[in-house]
Amino acid sequence: MKGGLGRRAAKARAVELFDAVGLKDPERVSRRLPAELSGGMQQRAMLAIAISCDPDLLIADEPTTALDVKTQAEIVALLRELRGRIGLSLLFVSHDLAVVTELCDRIAVFRHGRIVEHADTRELLERPQHPYTQSLLAAAGLGGTTDAH
């Protein structure tokens, strides 16, 4: 018994979670090895594991890295859906500002391990204060001003 569940109940819970994160044919997927899954399927399986204990907070560190654009959009949509459906708070760590601005309510910009700026997403995009934030936004093609003080 693991986590208070017997083998059958644990298997059923895994299939339920795989279904909840949008894996097609979750019963079949539950019998496959990780190496037999695509990158997007692996990421969905990891999200299933992450939500299996009903956390209040999910820390997602680069969850869309190495995924194609379509799969990346699906994972972002899934994270957004999970936030609403199960009341999940999300700490999203990424260097991909386009994805961050699409998903996050607030942004903290780190440089050399320190926060140099934090603000509501819209405010940060429209009025970045720190030169490093300004350069990141410009490099990502996300606008912002370059003369903010």
Domains in the chain, please, with CATH?
7-104 (3.40.50.300), 105-149 (no CATH)
At position 10, the amino acid (one-letter code) is A
What global pTM score does this model have? 0.79
pLDDT tens track for 96-106: 988 999 899 99
SS3 content of the chain, % helix, strand, coil (to 5): 50, 15, 35
Evaluate the CA torsion angle 141, 143, 147, 149 in order and state its sign: negative
Q: Look at residues 114, 121, 122 and name the one whose alpha carbon lies nearest to residue 132.
A: 114
Mean confidence (pLDDT) of the chain: 90
Does position 29 have pLDDT exceeding 80, yes or no?
Answer: yes
Tell me the average pLDDT across 99-119: 95
Joined together, the tokens standing for residue 110 give 């780190």
Range name among 3-7, 81-85, 95-99, 116-120 with the lowest pLDDT average? 3-7
The token pair at 76 is: 């972002």
Structure confidence at residue 5 as a pLDDT band (50, 70, 90): confident
pLDDT in tens, 55-74: 999 999 999 988 899 999 99
119 pLDDT above the threshold of 90: yes
Helix axes 39-51, 69-86, angle to 10 degrees: 10
CA distance 90 to 79: 8
Residue tagged 């990891």 (tokens)? 46
Bridging pattern class, strands 114-120 and 106-111: antiparallel
